[in-house]
Amino acid sequence: MDWPLRSYFSDWDVKRRFSGATGTRFVFLLAAYSLICIASLWLAYQLRFDFAVPSSVREDMLVVFLWVIPVKLLLIELFRQFDPVLSFYSTPDLIKIFSALALASAAMLAVYFFLGIDYSPPRGVILADLFLSFGGISTFRLLLRIRYQQRDARNRQENGNLRRVGIIGTGDAAANLVKELFHRPSLKRKPVAFFDENPDRHGSRIHDLPIIGPPEALLDESIRRRLDEVIIAMPGAPAKRIREIIGLLQQARIRFTTVPSMHQLATGEFRVSQLRSVGVEDLLETNPVPLSRDAIRQCLSAKTVLVTGAGGSIGAELSRRILLEDPAQLLLVEQCEVQLFQVEQDLIQRGHRERIVPLVGNILDAGRMENIFREHRPEVVFHAAAHKHAVMMEHQPGEAIRNNILGTIQLAQTARKYGAKRFVFTSTDSALKPSDVMGAAKRLIEIGLQTLQREAPDQTRFVSVRFGHALGSTGSFIDTFSRQIANGGPVRISHPEAVRQVVSVAETCSLLLECAAFAQAGDILYLDTGQAIPVRDLARQMIELSGLRPEIDLQIESVGLRPGGDIVEVFRPDADRAEATHHPNILRLRRDDGTLPSLQEYETFLTELRKILYQSDPDQIKLRLRHFVPEYSPHLD
């Protein structure tokens, strides 16, 4: 607990203290605490002398009361216990009140030992007074909280519009959710019952609400009609069980929401009461991603950090996560001012106004990037800006090369020039055996960054991180499915047997921070967290989450593979090409510096690419790419 004197005197305001609602609360609590402290000290004397206080002691009591009571009240004020909202009384308040009273008792003991019993109560009175005053004030505050809660409950009932909710789960998330629903009338929800799979808990009560039975009990009409909504509060439950529960709720035709994910709750990004719709990410089997929080904080804390593509899904989530690690400054670089404005407003709402610097800029603009690096000197760079629509880039590979390859290498050289310590490049798992321009371009960047690293091994640490389809990111096939469902269908998939490897945006960004903290210079890392999921199954699950029936209410159509696409796109490196790292979800690709070109050869090749970007047809550009990326199998028209 922070020492309260640190900031107390700097913001103490007499006018605020004695005016308005704050002044009324202060006077009320001052009178109540004074009476409790007087009564406690008087009763402590009576108990010490068996309700027969000697006349000699009674003569000294007035002197004791005249200094002890003001000292107690002053300490309670210093611990800010005249400030709190009366409808709340939690563990931090309890600790602060006890600390204030304990310090007052310590002061009485000091007076007792140095000045004697004429100015201080006997030791037995001091001890009894501590517990009596603590118990009295705590009970008073608890009664106030109960009274205000009852008043709020009456107001909610009078105002109506309360939704009766059932809570599935009885863990910490469920218990905390119910507590917040009781304390926050604005949520307009009234918890009425719990549902839990453990039969040993059935018939028990949490927060005075009954645990009725398992989630399957919701199929009972007599139970279902008592509820307006169900909240799934099982953030750590297996995805298979979540799918079963959702099926039950859809069968029961009852509205349902869920609490934030375990990752969001653990990072403090969301409160348990910030309910959301169940998304497809909740239906995937995921395990908690262990993170080296101390190392990540050491990497980012008090540093100037730059994120390119900050308006995209990965860039925005990265920015939110980085700000939790206390950087000195976060530079948000994005060429689309609309997206930059949106992420800026989101971060301001989260309380980060003073640390963020929104910068409109295109990584291809060498002058603009030079200006940003020269002015701000970022120490850590996360490069997430890129063209990412594989089908679109397949037909215009010149744009993929110009933005993704030439822009990235130019940015990396600028970062090295201005002394950046780390440069983390977001690559793709399709760089392993690319069959499209996007994968080949990312692979060529990886080669370029390793070449730069070899030329200057003691300068900027360049790291490439490969991962699969980021679930729900802007422009992903999940995003496309959502729009198609909202428009009434059909949902179009490439092939009925298509399989894609997907990973959540949250997991990806967590592991990107882990890679930034631990990666060695020139590493190419692979995030081994994705799941190989049949695309048709994902489409069916998304339709069902929308309350519709696949193939009945909404059709699923196969439109054929895109150019450069494969039926199965799972790009896990072979065991002989990868090695384990300190983290179970991160693999390191074995390096072969003997196959790397010289920096001069690489730059000569980039110069040749620049010349043919808009002078050759797409097939010629793809074939030229294969010169430096021999594992690339291009799709040729």
Within this chain, do residues 67 and 112 fall inside the same structural domain, yes or no? yes
Residue 261 structural domain: 161-278
Contact by Cβ (8 Å): 562, 394: yes
**Cα–Cα nearest to 441, from 623, 220, 629:** 629
Predicted local distance difference test score (pLDDT) of residue 5: 47
DSSP string for residues in 152-217: HHHHHHHH--PEEEEEE--SHHHHHHHHHHHH-GGG-EEEEEEE-S-GGGTT-EETTEEEEE-GGG
Within this chain, do residues 92 and 210 fall inside the same structural domain, yes or no? no
Within this chain, do residues 352 and 436 fall inside the same structural domain, yes or no? yes
d(CA 369, CA 111): 67
Domain boundary among 229, 248, 278: 278
Within this chain, do residues 135 and 172 fall inside the same structural domain, yes or no? no
**Cα–Cα nearest to 508, from 410, 426, 423:** 426
Within this chain, do residues 329 and 400 fall inside the same structural domain, yes or no? yes
- Interval 515-527: pLDDT, tens: 999 999 999 999 8
Question: At 305, which CATH number?
Answer: 3.40.50.720
Spell out, as residue ranges, where the chain has pLDDT lower than 70: 1-22, 83-88, 149, 151-161, 261-288, 472-475, 530-531, 547, 563-565, 569-571, 575-576, 593-594
Within this chain, do residues 173 and 120 fall inside the same structural domain, yes or no? no
Within this chain, do residues 98 and 217 fall inside the same structural domain, yes or no? no
DSSP string for residues in 539-573: HHHHHHHTT--BTTTB-EEE--PPTT--SEE--PP
Predicted local distance difference test score (pLDDT) of residue 306: 97
Tokens 């006890």 identify what position?
98
Q: Angle, nearest 10°, between helix axes 535-545 and 477-486?
A: 40
Question: What is the total count of domains within the chain?
Answer: 3
Domain boundary among 155, 179, 207: 155
**Cα–Cα nearest to 279, from 325, 246, 315, 238:** 246
Within this chain, do residues 206 and 180 fall inside the same structural domain, yes or no? yes
Within this chain, do residues 129 and 215 fall inside the same structural domain, yes or no? no
Predicted local distance difference test score (pLDDT) of residue 576: 67
Within this chain, do residues 120 and 192 fall inside the same structural domain, yes or no? no
